[in-house]
């Protein structure tokens, strides 16, 4: 399988600058401004929200017993607390890690 070589591509000319370098991710010559950290925390927040929605769906369908619901609730609460702690340690708010998805709007 051949590797994809993107060096030398002019993404701006291709109309892809927003998708390739969303707000908060530093491009060449720009200050990082915690860009990678913001991206990672934003993705972790997205995964957390998806897990919460999946848990609610499974609860509504009756696929979880009371013990499983309790364990899942505790795990999700601990995860939310850890995400908040990580944001606070780096001086970031939830809005700081919100990803701009271009025409689709923001992540959350």
The tens-digit pLDDT sequence of the chain (108 residues) is: 444 444 555 545 544 443 444 444 444 444 446 788 999 999 999 999 999 999 999 999 999 999 999 999 999 999 999 999 999 999 999 999 998 878 888 887
Give pLDDT, residue 21.
44
Residue 38 CA to residue 92 CA, distance in Å, equals 8
Helices (H), ranges, 2-108? 17-20, 35-60, 66-89
Give pLDDT, residue 69.
95
Task: Output the pTM of the full model.
Answer: 0.66
Give pLDDT, residue 31.
44
Give pLDDT, residue 8.
54
Residue 83 CA to residue 47 CA, distance in Å, equals 11
Break the chain into its structural domains and give their ranges: 32-97
Q: Which long-range contacts (CB under 8 A, 24 or more apart) does 50-56 make?
A: 51/76, 51/79, 52/76
């Amino acid at each position: 399988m051949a590797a994809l070589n993107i060096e030398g591509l002019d993404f701006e000319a291709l109309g892809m600058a927003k998708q390739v370098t969303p707000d908060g991710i530093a491009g060449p010559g720009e200050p990082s401004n915690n860009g990678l950290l913001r991206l990672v925390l934003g993705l972790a927040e997205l995964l957390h929200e998806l897990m919460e929605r999946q848990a609610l769906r499974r609860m509504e369908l009756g696929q979880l017993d009371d013990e499983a619901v309790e364990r899942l609730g505790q795990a999700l609460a601990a995860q939310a607390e850890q995400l908040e702690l990580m944001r606070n340690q780096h001086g970031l708010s939830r809005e700081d890690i919100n990803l701009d998805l271009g025409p689709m709007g923001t992540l959350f």
